[in-house]
Amino acid sequence: MFSFIRSSNPSFAIDLGTNNTLVYQPRKGIILEEPTSIAYDYNRRSFFDCGESSKRMVGKNPKYIEIMQPLSKGAISNLTVAKAYIKEVIARISRKRIFKPHIIVSVPSDLNAMERNAVIEAGREGGAKSVQLIKDPFAAALGTQCAIEQPQGVLVLDVGAGVSDISLLSLSGIVMSKSLRMAGNDLDEAIIEHFKATKRVLISPSDAERIKHELGNLVHPEALQMSISVKNLVTRLPETFTVNAIDVHQAILPVIDKIVALTHTMLSELPPVFASDIYDRGILLTGGSSMLKGLDTYLSSKLEIAVNPVENPLHNIILGAGRAIEEERYSKLFK
């Protein structure tokens, strides 16, 4: 297997997420963390400003500028946009370098062959010398120092922005996995739709995300409130509206219960030989959306099994992908 560290070409691990992209450089750590978005100017017919600078334009951009996201539900939704975005990311991390970089991209475990090839094509045309993939469950487990090469089961539940994925790992392989193209972004949409239907007000996506973080709580939806600006769908005028945590709890619960159902199905289908491993060690919970208050407790109570949040859910996968590059023994995980 090719050794990335010893090559004269630089190597990087990339966690290309639906909402955020992180880049890890061996021996240096995380060197980039920005939103997965890029702006397109229809007048000039060109892409410009990716990451945080493009995200700040959302909702305030003129009609001839569109803020595009290359991924949807964990998969590339627009190959042209993805190539432009990855090209910009590679340009940022490879400035003043003569050699094209080798990149390892962390991807959801359920991507089909066409979706995997789209990631590889986007990376190569974006400026990489070579592109290999590592599945998110492997990276997540490595990020928490799990010994995935041992003959014991490790169950990883990754709740990201676009995908919820649960995988059983053993002997450096995926024994079985299940995915649901529903996760953190769907919680935002559920909040928007709930208040649209019950209160006749329209909440912006950015405010829905803020509401989720500040008021979302699955175990103790306390009497918390926050004021936001909304559009009244009856008067068609803007107004100040007070959101309470009880309504938020009601809005997000149906989405969370689908993740519970996914996990329950996985547990019910576990091979008997892994049952003691999983019920002794519990489920490893990772992904940015796993930070929703009370999610681990809610899952544990519904499933009657320990659910253990990782220490750093936002960086867990990229740190694991970086570890896979740095330690030769994990090179067999690359596809």
Please report, in range form, the residues annotated as the binding site for ATP.
209-212
Is the CB of residue 212 less than 8 Å from the CB of residue 191?
Answer: yes
- For residue 202, the Cα-to-chain-centroid distance in whole angstroms is 26
3-state secondary structure the chain: CCCCCCCCCCEEEEEECCCEEEEEECCCEEEEEEECCEEEECCCCEEEEECHHHHCCCCCCCCCEEEECCEECCEECCHHHHHHHHHHHHHHHCCCCCCCCEEEEEECCCCCHHHHHHHHHHHHHCCCCEEEEEEHHHHHHHHCCCCCCCCCCEEEEEECCCCEEEEEEECCEEEEEEEECCCHHHHHHHHHHHHHHHCCEECCHHHHHHHHHHHCECCCCCCCEEEEEEEECCCCCEEEEEEEHHHHHHHHHHHHHHHHHHHHHHHHCCCHHHHHHHHHHCEEEECHHHHCECHHHHHHHHHCCCEEECCCCCCHHHHHHHHHHHCHHHHHHCC
Q: Summarize the annotated binding site as residue ranges.
A: 209-212
Q: Residue 100: count other Cβ atoms within 10 Å of its Cβ.
A: 15
